[in-house]
Amino acid sequence: MTAPTPLIAGNWKMNGLAASLAEAKAVAEGAKAARARVAICPPSVLIERMSRELAGSAVAVGGQDAHAEESGAYTGDVAAEMLADAGATLVILGHSERRATYGETDSLVAAKVKAALRAGLEPIVCVGETLEQRKAGEALKVVTGQVRGSLPADLAGKAFAVAYEPVWAIGTGLTPTTPEIEEMHRAIRATLVEMFGEAGRAVPILYGGSVKPSNAAEILHADEVGGALVGGASLKAADFLGIVNAV
Ligand code: 13P
């Protein structure tokens, strides 16, 4: 099976106002000849405007979370159908910031993944260990457990990605060593093949956590790394393009 096309996705988190759309347009301009698929996941209120601005470009727009239900009395939440209706084609689910701040469990993430599929969105499902878990030698067990628990069988035959984001590497400037990244990505790949058979080899496994232009080439060329989920460095077009062009 051929290697999946790498995916470079920017997670703007709770950053960006209308003025930031200029950065997204600059990304679209600079990514015309990109070897990777490129996506930006802005705050949900910017999805519709960004989708209009980027229509016809090679840059896809995604959400950062979605509720598991299609509609209902869930004040403040956004359904996967609403993201799709606003122009999103992907959605990040199970980010560690949501797992930590909002107590999202593997089974809730799996329900959200089903919602994304129901709405026709491509889920990017995040997993990753804390520093305590890594120090205790539990990183592989924790992360492969998250993969098993967060990916419903409904994903068989569907487009999706897994993002390995060690919690201690997010926004800290710290990254695992390349052998540590490869060890984890190989373990995730083996789990995907266990769960989905040979189709599990076509799932891009992204790395996330302090990816920047200066370390992108080494990370992106590591074994079983199929792209990156980028936080801080996705907010400036020049930095994000430096990562996109490192593929
Ligand atoms: P940073 O790239 O800012 O470390 O964030 C990574 C991340 O959480 C992307 O989802």
Range of the domain at 98: 7-68+76-176+183-210+219-227
Give residue 1's pLDDT band: very low, low, confident or very high (50, 70, 90): low
- Taking residues 48-67, report their average pLDDT: 98
- Summarised one tens digit per residue, pLDDT across range 218-238 is 999 999 999 999 999 999 999
> DSSP code of 79?
B
Ligand 1 atom with the shortest distance to the CA of 163: 10
Confidence (pLDDT) at 183: 98
When divided into structural domains, the chain yields a total of: 1
Q: Which helix (H) or strand (E) holds 40?
A: strand 37-41
Closest residue CA from atom 5 of ligand 1: 231
Confidence (pLDDT) at 58: 95
Q: Is 165 a catalytic residue?
A: yes
- Taking residues 150-158, report their average pLDDT: 97
pLDDT at 2 over 70: no
Q: 3-state class of 22 per DSSP? A: helix
Give a yes or no: residue 161 inside a domain.
Answer: yes
- Summarised one tens digit per residue, pLDDT across range 18-50 is 999 999 999 999 999 999 999 999 999 999 999
Interatomic CA distance for residues 114 and 121, integer angstroms: 10
Give a yes or no: residue 142 inside a domain.
Answer: yes
**Could you say which of 95, 122, 185, 224 is catalytic?**
95
Confidence (pLDDT) at 4: 82
| CATH number assigned to the domain comprising residue 197 | 3.20.20.70
Query: 161 - beta bridge partners?
Result: 124
- Summarised one tens digit per residue, pLDDT across range 61-104 is 999 999 999 999 999 999 999 999 999 999 999 999 999 999 99
Largest CA distance in the chain: 48
| Tokens 């930031």, located at residue | 20
Give a yes or no: residue 2 inside a domain.
Answer: no
Cα torsion at 71, 75, 80, 86 (round to 10°)? 100
- Taking residues 191-208, report their average pLDDT: 98
- Whether the model clears a pTM of 0.95, i.e. scores above it, the answer is yes
Give a yes or no: residue 59 inside a domain.
Answer: yes
DSSP string, 95-134: -HHHHHHS---HHHHHHHHHHHHHTT-EEEEEE---HHHH
Give a yes or no: residue 131 inside a domain.
Answer: yes
Decide if 130 contacts 93 (C-beta within 8 A): no
**Could you say which of 104, 165, 185, 224 is catalytic?**
165
Interatomic CA distance for residues 245 and 247, integer angstroms: 5
CB atoms within 10 A of CB 73: 6
Give a yes or no: residue 235 inside a domain.
Answer: no
- Summarised one tens digit per residue, pLDDT across range 94-150 is 999 999 999 999 999 999 999 999 999 999 999 999 999 999 999 999 999 999 999
Give a yes or no: residue 234 inside a domain.
Answer: no
Give a yes or no: residue 49 inside a domain.
Answer: yes
Decide if 128 contacts 143 (C-beta within 8 A): yes
Q: Is 95 a catalytic residue?
A: yes
Confidence (pLDDT) at 3: 74
Decide if 209 contacts 170 (C-beta within 8 A): yes
